Structure 1
Amino acid sequence: MEFVFQALPVDPGYEQSCDLVDNSPDEFWQPLLEHLKEKHQLPDGSWQRIRTGANVLFSLDDQLVLKIVPPNWGYQGQAEIDSCSLLGRQLSVAIPEVVASGTVNNWLYVVMTKLPGTSLADVWQDLGHSDKLVLVKQLGSFIRELHQLTLPDDHQMKVNWADYIDKLKQDCLPRHKRKGVDESLVAQIEAYLSGQALVFDDGTDLFIHMDLHPWNLMVQHKEGQYRLSGVLDFGDAIVGRSRLLELLTPLLFMCQGDKALALALLKSYSLLDVDDKEVLRQQLMAIALLRPACDFKFVLSQVPQTGDRDNWQQISRQLFPF
């Protein structure tokens, strides 16, 4: 008999889903948690709430992680499942393994192995520059490894690239207005994008995680140094055709306007022609403006301001200091 969790709405509105994810007490989820433990014969142990991210997360005795995804953005849970299946154990850095998945009342759930180590976000700001340099180089090598994987031509994660880019262009101005970007900057976006010789297609299919930043990276401290040990949260991953779409996030959220870190990331990645750094900067700025779900006010808060930010040229030099 199918389990029915009557308290969980089958077709929630966006605000209702956000409220359940953000504000529901742990007790609300207990019937579902115990049902899943029994259904999938999960280990005995207690569930602990993880209050981060846009979905409901529970840890089972530091062995497993359960992610419960509202139907409003169920594609994120499916991307998690598809990514782990596609990548398997091909990478030198650990990724979660899917133990079980399914739906309850139209909400998708995924049970995954919990990666060892510490979230890089918990230690990043306290690391010295030399430690950050090591981790940035490791991440660049990992991205290179990721982008060199041979992928099936017809994998379900592959997007129609032309349609994908067109949709990003259509959503660009409305999104930045919604996110409260300064009106004078929003007014400059269309002219800035049209004035650049922009290349969004690298001519080959790439697995793009999309969110390689400290909150989605795990590290372990060994022999006096932190080392990259795991990558998680594949909810926004796609198979697409732009290396810059992948490199953009660590450049913003890990390099944070530091020239040495930015150059180290690009050098360790090594699959990109960086001879003309001005063109690269313009292309990255354009990708940053187009990137799905980008909150540019938050982006700017992550990079120290070193000058005026009255136009996108000034901003690009601060974000991408090559």
Structure 2
Amino acid sequence: MIAFPVIADKQAFTSWRSAPNNWHALVNAIARASNVVSDEITPFQTGTNLVVGLNDSVILKLFPPIYRSQFISERATLRLLGEKLSVPIPQLVAEGEQSGWSYLIMTRLHGILGSEAWPTLSESEKGRVLAEIGRTIAEVQAVPPGDLAAIEPTWPDFIARQVEGCIERHRRQGLAPNLLADLDELLQQVPSVVPLDAPPVILTGEWIPENFLLAETDGRWHLAALIDFGDVMTGWREYDLLGPSAFMCAGLPGRVASLMRGYGLGPNALDAAMRRRLLTLMLLHRASDVRHIDIDGWEARVGRLVDLENVVWPADGGR
């Protein structure tokens, strides 16, 4: 038996994870039990859970009891999507559960973390990668949800919960008063704007540079791998366009057009109704914080909250 610690809350886990002496012996014990060599252990700093590389060949991801739902989501997603996409995802090597803790050992994919590589790409390369991201989002959503459809919350329950806490969340984050004043009206329109009964598709919720790898082949940068599926759920398909829109497109029409084209949308699909849906979903996203939208000076370009939809998704961005 492997001795797992008792972790009371997120803060305690963050503190425990930050000190390798706390978990080094535990990682070695899990590796031995899984017949995996662990002579070299390399921790990764990003992510919610403890993630370490073992001998540059596999990744161990360790989930404390408070994040068990992420283990369930990631394991189900890796099982379901394996070899069904044009872009590689990790393959499961071993898994286990004990004392409320869970772990996955998976193959290590090669490439450069998107958050490191993206700033170095030229504008044409960024457009090409965004098109590949759009295509891959569509590929994921073409796979029937299977067991993922049972993951809670359901899409209608998720939206209801996000609506309930939306105003307080954005007030706490410091949304400008003039924009916060518009939020209540926007939320009242949610039932008529956000599809709640459409057939749900797989949503990773986080198509952001920290969750994929890029690589350069023959002088061309491309999407090399997808990683991190701990927040997967099912729901309305456009939700997964939010990450690349807010953190990669920079409000530039060409980039937005590349993303939408890769996703399979025609030149006129990004109309006023779609931009309103996307804005509403962005404010309801489980990680929503408009302070982090990666568009320089966007605050000076909006007088009302609804103006933000044309900043993030310019009217000619679908053409």
Q: Secondary structure at the match of 1:68?
A: strand
Partner of 1:19 in structure 2?
15
Mapped to 1, the partners of 2:266 and 2:286 lie a distance apart of: 22
Contact persistence 2:28–2:38 (CA under 8 A) = no
Q: Secondary structure at the match of 1:200?
A: coil
Mapped to 1, the partners of 2:266 and 2:22 lie a distance apart of: 49
Mapped to 2, the partners of 1:135 and 1:202 lie a distance apart of: 32
Partner of 1:228 in structure 2?
223
Partner of 1:119 in structure 2?
113
Partner of 2:303 in structure 1?
310
Q: How does 1:116-155 map to 2 (within 5 A)?
A: 116-152=110-146, 155=149
How high is the TM-score relative to the length of structure 2? Answer: 0.90
Amino acid at match of 1:311: R
Structure 1 residues 239 and 27, CA, compared in 2 at 3 Å: closer, same or farther?
Answer: same
Q: How many residues align?
A: 313
Q: CA deviation at 1:273?
A: 8.5
Gaps of 5+ in 1: none
Contact persistence 1:274–1:280 (CA under 8 A) = no
Structure 1 residues 259 and 271, CA, compared in 2 at 3 Å: closer, same or farther?
Answer: closer
Q: CA deviation at 1:190?
A: 1.2
Q: Does residue 1:4 correspond to 2:3, yes or no?
A: yes
Q: Secondary structure at the match of 1:136?
A: helix
Gaps of 5+ in 2: none
Q: Does residue 1:203 correspond to 2:198, yes or no?
A: yes
Mapped to 2, the partners of 1:44 and 1:232 lie a distance apart of: 21
Partner of 2:88 in structure 1?
94
Deviations 1:50-83 (A, max 9, x none): 1112221111121111112232222112211111
Amino acid at match of 1:168: Q
Partner of 2:286 in structure 1?
292
Q: CA deviation at 1:29?
A: 1.0
Q: CA deviation at 1:84?
A: 0.4
Mapped to 2, the partners of 1:122 and 1:286 lie a distance apart of: 29
Q: CA deviation at 1:160?
A: 2.4
Contact persistence 1:305–1:318 (CA under 8 A) = no
Partner of 1:282 in structure 2?
276
Q: How does 1:4-83 map to 2 (within 5 A)?
A: 4-5=3-4, 8-9=5-6, 11-21=7-17, 23=18, 25-83=19-77
Mapped to 2, the partners of 1:296 and 1:73 lie a distance apart of: 25
Mapped to 2, the partners of 1:177 and 1:15 lie a distance apart of: 23
Deviations 1:65-112 (A, max 9, x none): 111223222211221111101112111110111222223442322211
Aligned-residue CA RMSD (Å): 2.1
Tell me the percent identity. Answer: 25
How high is the TM-score relative to the length of structure 1? Answer: 0.90
Contact persistence 1:64–1:113 (CA under 8 A) = yes
Amino acid at match of 1:94: P
Q: Secondary structure at the match of 1:219?
A: strand
Deviations 1:248-272 (A, max 9, x none): 1111111121111101111221257
Mapped to 2, the partners of 1:104 and 1:154 lie a distance apart of: 23
Contact persistence 2:75–2:104 (CA under 8 A) = yes
Mapped to 1, the partners of 2:148 and 2:132 lie a distance apart of: 30
Structure 1 residues 289 and 38, CA, compared in 2 at 3 Å: closer, same or farther?
Answer: same
Mapped to 2, the partners of 1:124 and 1:47 lie a distance apart of: 27
